[in-house]
A and B are shown apart, each in its own frame.
Chain A
Amino acid sequence: MLNAIFMPEIFMMLTVLILFFMTLGHFKTGTIQAVSLLLAAVTLAVTLASSGAHGLMFFDAYQVDALSQLFKVVIVLGLFLVFFLGTGLTGIEEKLHTEYNMFLTISAMGLMFLSSSVELLTILLSLEISSYALYVVIPFRRGQGRIHVEAGIKYILFGAASTGLTLYGMSYIFGLAHTTYLSELRDIMPGLVATQPLAVMAIILVMTAFFYKLAMFPMHFWTPDVYQGAANETSSFVATLPKVAAVLLLLRFVAVAGFDISKVTWVLATIAVLSMTLGNLSALVQTDLKRLLAYSSIAHAGYVMLGILTADEMGMAAAVFYVIGYLLMNLGVFYVIYNISPQGENVTFEDLKGLSRRSPLLAMTLLVSAFGMAGIPPTIGFIGKFMLFTGALHEGFYALVIIAVMNAAVAAFYYLKMARAAYCAADSEQSAIVLPFGAKLMGVFFILAIILIGALPQGLLATAKAAVATLL
């Protein structure tokens, strides 16, 4: 029984082990990628097969439920897509290719643990497993000066600081409630939050590490520099998977704080507003595509928070739906970035010019992803925003929704700028980009996924609703 519910994690560990043994020998990049992809695919299949599992393990510190299984599927799918889109690993030092894949897998494994952790120390451990692997991986970049070292250091310092704050908050929670189990905290915390300001502070402090992962104000400072400094493949991982897990943990903590969380809500609402406004306004003036995505991710963190802070079924399901959509759309843009920079260099708006001539498929993927992130129907991004706004209005957050809506209008400008750059003529003649068959398949996959889930959202939304029902 234990094995059955722990199967996805076991397969993930096996993947890590196999990759570890591969680091001992010398393999061609193609072989490494083929093995990684195959293993990720097998793990994905196993995770999907065990998506109905539920149970408690390891002295009740590890809970397998619909919510955690949904997120595990998304995390493994994300890992698979990251491996797939960076097929050649062109931005990574050649001799480090196997290690690179191994560390990414370890990080994803940590995130999988994280999605099932329901005890404070287990949460911290899982978080650290995933973070440490990423600390190692970020400076793995080839031939771009020393920019990646700066990125690595920033990521570590901010990560360490935010983990410290989280641990500090956990100490308060333990001091107040005398337990570290979320299931027990659920009964105690709401009363404490209502009476003790310290409890509010403790909850917010505990959330800090996840604000950091999600690039949410005020823990967002690392985002632009790390995105810019890390290799394109690495950025695509950092930009998506940890954020998915962070949303899950924020949902768990909001559920712990209780559903009448008006005191916590005010803090979260302020953070959400600042995050989206600051992110969008800063994104307007960026020329480096990855920096732009970084600021846009800060803004998206604000939108997701809109769903999290409602703390009801609709809003939380919307947040889950939104972050899954965000993963797809963001990976869509990173797929384009990866494919137009053969040497793994950063991409600016100048490089996008004439893309529709050089590769219609890439331009189309960029267009669909950008419009999706802007929230234009019929994309997954529109349904996500629509559900978030519905959830927030349902709970009476009118001002918050109005601010979010105005932000969406501002954000449309820079997403449009991306699409426009791809479709305007280049100043000089550039060579066509020839995509291998796998990359073409991937582009079609992103376009179809973003549009089809947007047009027929029922299935995913029902899954999200069933998943958050375990929190209520």
Chain B
Amino acid sequence: MENYLILNTLNYPILSTLLILPVVGAIVAMFLRGDTVLKYWSFAVTVVTALVSLPLWSSFDQSTAKYQFVELRHWFPALHLDFVLGVDGISVLLVLLTTLVMPLCILCSWTYIKTRWKEFVIVTLLMETAMLGVFVSMNTVLFYIFWEGMLVPMYLIIAIWGGARKDYASIKFFLYTFAGSIFLLVAIIAMYIKTGTFFIPELMDYSFSFTFQVWIFLACAIGFAIKMPMFPFHTWLPAAHVEAPVAGSVILASILLKMGGYGFLRFCLPMAPAATVYFVPLLLVMSLISIVVGGYLALGQTDIKKLIAYSSVGHMGFVTLGIFLLNDAGIKGAMLQMLNHGVTTGALFILIGIIYERTHSREIADNSKLGMFMPIYVTFLGLFSLSSLAFPGTNSFVSEFLVLYGAFDKYPLVGAVSILGAILAAAYMLRLLQKMIWDDSDGHAHHDHDDHGDGKGHKLFDCNAREFIQLAFLTVFVFWIGLHPTPILDIMDSSVAHLLHQIDVGSVVPTEAVHHGESHALLNNAGAWIKNLF
């Protein structure tokens, strides 16, 4: 086991501290009274968690692909099931993203959430633990427990604090993801029975037969593709996004969607490399459809939240596209795209929350001509919209550039089609900007907002300090990643190289007789099948 990991060298167990802090915060919150106290308490807990997570950045050893900060405890000896936590270059950034976004989720709910603050705090903090647990688990069962455990708090966030159709949206979210991930459980058990271990690095090194890999890949990929969400499985996302409260949308967009990509990188690629290579055409086509269809659907939305939700489908299409290019630029681009989407789309949902609190409408038409009243707000809106459409100098440009570079390097046609997605992104984001900032058609909600009679009760006041801080914080990342992404790319370097090595080694099927020619024939068949399908 020691070949795979470096035990924690810090003088405290950093990863389990990260997992326990929010839980302790939630337990203490049960005994607190008063919304204000609870607000400050939850904010303090999430900030402390974020601060505790920072050494993961500063003490991270970039030179190795091994797991770091590892903690090992015996948990379930009958099944050789240990409680192992660790991070590598693939997960460490997602852990940091989670800890840094969570304080914002509290801040953006400050006035948005009006009822049941105690429950909200408890659920949100438990959510943080579950999400962190997914990224730091080094054991498939632990991973699955956090992965499924996450559904409950998220379900509650949508079901309790959601909008008008929260019942429909929350159930749809839950059932979709539950149905997808239960097959993951079967894959986990099947792999255990084949190998006798739940330890992820050992499973990665095991060479399964090709047929087995195909089943494993499919069972995992359904769950991850739903979480992502990829094209035919994306329908839960707009519903969940639209009905979720602002914090729910931010968590969904910034962190939850990343888990699909993380799952592909952690399970499908290294554990079923031959099957991955076999299924590349299918997944590339699905990614392209996600990019184009997501962008195309976003173009037609009149609800801002729905528009951003569909744009997420497109952006996550770039992530899967990058992953299944199976080259250095593609995977790095995909991982960076996950972070960027977390920053940018998170910020966009915060912005929507801000305007919804003022006009109580998410329709674009009700929120037009804001440039006149809210200069700071529209500055941020413009900035993050540009970031969303991958304007050079912003974060998304770097990641989409990497993915496109990887695509043109390997399959020029795929690159050419995905360019279309980038153009669509510009079209729908600029349309949104134009309508919200300048448009002067009639029927604006804020026109009836001056009806207080005294002339100064205008509801369209600009961002206050709390809102400004959230947005400014995320702005830092937009420009940091946009202008100087090297430190972040360096962190993932060794792990991505190791992953590519695993795929190179593993995709040559070891045992079962799939000859080279035969595997090509299979690939061609898959290509033909896809052609027939569309």
Contacts and interface: CB of A to CB of B under 8 A. Distances in A.
Interface of A: 356, 371, 374, 376-378, 382, 386, 389-390, 393-394, 398, 401-402, 405-406, 408-409, 412-413, 416-417, 420, 423-424, 457-458, 461-462, 465
A356 B192 CA distance: 40
Nearest to B148: A377
A390 B188 CA distance: 9
B178 A405 contact: no
Interface string B163-192: 000010011001100110011011001101
Contacts of A401: 186, 189
B145 A382 contact: yes
A408 B182 contact: yes
Nearest to A387: B79
A322 to B, nearest CB: 15
A416 to B, nearest CB: 6
Contacts of B155: 416
Interface of B: 75-79, 119, 141, 144-146, 148-149, 151-152, 155-156, 159-160, 167, 170-171, 174-175, 178-179, 182-183, 185-186, 189-190, 192-193
Nearest to A461: B78
Contacts of A423: 156, 159-160
A376 B152 contact: yes
Contact of A386 (B146, B175, B189, B193): B189
Contacts of B78: 458, 461-462, 465
A409 B159 contact: no
22 contacts: A371-B152, A377-B145, A377-B149, A382-B148, A389-B185, A390-B192, A393-B190, A398-B190, A405-B182, A405-B183, A405-B186, A408-B182, A412-B178, A416-B174, A420-B167, A420-B171, A424-B159, A457-B76, A458-B76, A458-B77, A461-B76, A461-B78
Contacts of A402: 186
Nearest to B147: A377
Contacts of B170: 420
Contacts of B145: 377-378, 382
Given A389-B186, A393-B193, A416-B175, 7 more contacts: A376-B149, A389-B185, A390-B189, A413-B175, A416-B155, A420-B170, A424-B167
A264 to B, nearest CB: 23
Contacts of B152: 371, 376
Given A377-B148, A393-B189, A386 B141 contact: yes
Nearest to A465: B78
A409 B179 contact: yes
A413 B144 CA distance: 20
B123 to A, nearest CB: 11
Nearest to A376: B148
Interface of B is mostly: helix
Contacts of B159: 420, 423-424
Which 6 pairs, one residue from A and one from B, show the smallest C-beta to C-beta distance? A377-B145, A409-B179, A412-B178, A377-B148, A390-B189, A405-B182
Nearest to A395: B193
A409 B148 contact: no
Given A389-B185, A405-B182, A413 B171 contact: yes
Contacts of A412: 174-175, 178-179
B76 A390 contact: no
Residue from A356, A408, A412, A462 with most neighbouring chain B CB atoms (10 Å): A412
A393 B185 contact: no
Contacts of B141: 386
Given A386-B141, A405-B186, A423-B156, A416 B171 contact: yes
Contacts of A462: 78
A377 to B, nearest CB: 4
A465 B79 CA distance: 12
Contacts of B189: 386, 389-390, 393, 401
A381 to B, nearest CB: 11
A386 B76 CA distance: 13
Contact of B182 (A390, A409, A417, A457): A409
Contact of B185 (A374, A386, A420): A386
A445 to B, nearest CB: 17
Contacts of B151: 376
B175 A377 contact: no
A412 B174 CA distance: 9
Contacts of A424: 159, 167
A472 to B, nearest CB: 16
Nearest to B178: A412
Contacts of B190: 393, 398
Residue from B144, B156, B185, B192 with most neighbouring chain A CB atoms (10 Å): B185
Contacts of A356: 119
Contacts of B148: 376-377, 382
A416 B186 CA distance: 22
Nearest to A462: B78
A268 to B, nearest CB: 20
Nearest to B146: A377
A329 to B, nearest CB: 15
B255 to A, nearest CB: 19
Contacts of A378: 145, 149
A457 B146 CA distance: 16
Contact of A377 (B79, B119, B144, B156): B144
A457 B171 CA distance: 29
A401 B186 CA distance: 8
Contact of B193 (A390, A417, A457): A390
A158 B156 CA distance: 41
A461 B178 CA distance: 26
Contacts of B156: 423
B311 to A, nearest CB: 29
Nearest to A417: B171
Contacts of A382: 145, 148
Residue from B152, B155, B186 with most neighbouring chain A CB atoms (10 Å): B152
B87 to A, nearest CB: 21
Residue from B77, B79, B170 with most neighbouring chain A CB atoms (10 Å): B79
Contacts of B144: 377
Contacts of A394: 193
A453 to B, nearest CB: 12
A406 B183 CA distance: 8
A420 B169 CA distance: 12
A404 B186 CA distance: 10
A380 B79 CA distance: 16
Contacts of A386: 141, 185, 189
A408 B186 CA distance: 12
Nearest to A454: B145
B160 A409 contact: no
Contacts of A398: 190
Contacts of A389: 185-186, 189
Contact of B178 (A390, A409, A417, A420): A409
A416 B176 CA distance: 13
B239 to A, nearest CB: 15
Nearest to B141: A386
A405 B144 CA distance: 15
A409 B181 CA distance: 9
A462 B149 CA distance: 24
Contacts of A458: 75-78
Contacts of A413: 171, 175
B131 to A, nearest CB: 14
A356 B122 CA distance: 15
A370 B75 CA distance: 26
A461 to B, nearest CB: 6
Contacts of B193: 390, 393-394
Nearest to B115: A425
Nearest to B78: A461
A372 to B, nearest CB: 11
Contacts of A409: 175, 178-179, 182
A409 B175 CA distance: 7
A402 B178 CA distance: 14
Contacts of A461: 76, 78
B145 to A, nearest CB: 4
Residue from A356, A377, A417, A458 with most neighbouring chain B CB atoms (10 Å): A377
